[in-house]
Amino acid sequence: MLTLFGLSDHAVAAYEAMLANPQHGVAEIADTLGISEAQVRDGLDELCSLSLVRQSWDEPGKLRAIPPRVGLTALLSRQESELKARQDQLNASRHALEHVIAEYTAFDEPQAGVEQLTGLDSARCRIETLAHECESEVLAFCPDGALTVDNMKASRALDEAVLSRGVKMRTIYLDSIVNDTASASYAEWLVGTGAEVRTVPISPPRMLIYDRRVAVVPIDPDNTAAGAVLLNGAGVVAALCDLFSYVWESAFPFGMASPCAGPDELTPQEMAVLRLLAEGHTDETVARKLGVSVRTSRRITANIAKRLGVRSRFQAGVEAVRRGWLRPTGE
């Protein structure tokens, strides 16, 4: 029980031995307890520092134990005083923190509508704050075929902290994420930690939505280092949430096998490529939107043409319309 006062085991044993046998010295205490004299001396030094033993008035050089009613009561009073001082210090620190937060918030609180976060540092700093304050849900579009090491490093601690608080997290990646081992492992970690992850052939631009009240999108979708735009207008955020829900419903759960196309069907990724080609996008643009290399993009295009039995993109579009895979232009 005396360890509750902060005493070590050796100090407790030495104190109890001295109370039981006041005349025993170091050697006798060590023999009684079955420990070394050095361990007894360490215990006595600790007891002296806590004022639980004192020098004998009758036999100078010897130590005497202070009765528990006196010694432990005084020790408890000192601990209570220290605890109160520590509590006062914590309260003062809390008030100081609230004051700093109030000043910062008054200076930096975004007005309803749009706030520009110029540069990567500014954007990530605000994202860290939003993640810390998030209470219920995070929605995310991550239109990268392969995540960068910096992105995964910056996101992991935030994602882990958010999920540990029971916040729901839903993330949509590109189908091509499975082609990158590190990115696929990160997605698997997210699922294992409690997040929901789905994939689509093509994703809308990068976006984060916190508690369905604040959205963060990049200033330039092709250059995230340029910074981001924070949107907190209710109407705009609601529309972005609807967009996320629409894409989520058509997305496929990560880790499950994708549905195989029949002999007269295209895979979701091939259908996405066909639509992009019909819109006139280049191989480079198609590759970027799918999160794959240009070589892979061209291989997919060649496979589509082969399956359709055509030689050109124009013919592919005509044949796709004839088969009902694409709507005619203008419809």
- Residues 247, 176 share a domain: yes
- pLDDT of 262 reads 53
Give bridge partners of residue 139 from the DSSP assignment. Answer: 170, 209
CATH code of 46's domain: 1.10.10.10
Single residue among 205, 222, 253 that ends a domain in this structure: 253
- Residues 282, 249 share a domain: no
- pLDDT of 293 reads 83
Query: Which residues of the chain carry a pLDDT beneath 70?
Result: 1-6, 58, 90, 93-94, 96-112, 256-265, 327-331
Q: What is the DSSP string of 39-103?
A: HHHHHHHHHHHTTSEEE-SSSTT-EEEPPHHHHHHHHHHHHHHHHHHHHHHHHHHHHHHHHHHHH
- Residues 133, 232 share a domain: yes
- pLDDT of 136 reads 94
- Residues 245, 124 share a domain: yes
CATH code of 147's domain: 3.30.870.10
Its domain, for residue 213, covers 114-253
- Overall domain count for the chain: 3
Q: CA 102 → CA 16, 45, 88, 122, 164, distances in Å? A: 54, 48, 21, 19, 27
Give bridge partners of residue 208 from the DSSP assignment. Answer: 140, 216
b/e map of 78-89 (b: 16 or more CB within 10 Å)?
eeeeeeeeeeee
Domain assignment present for residue 102? The answer is no
Please, what is the angle between helix 120-133 and helix 149-164, to 10°?
Answer: 20
- Residues 156, 222 share a domain: yes
* Cβ atoms < 10 Å from Cβ of 16: 15
* The 3-state secondary structure of 196-229, one letter per residue: EEEEECCCCCCEEEECCCEEEEECCCCCHHHEEE
Domain assignment present for residue 46? The answer is yes
Domain assignment present for residue 21? The answer is yes
Domain assignment present for residue 72? The answer is no
- Whether this prediction's pTM lies above 0.75 is answered by no
Domain assignment present for residue 89? The answer is no
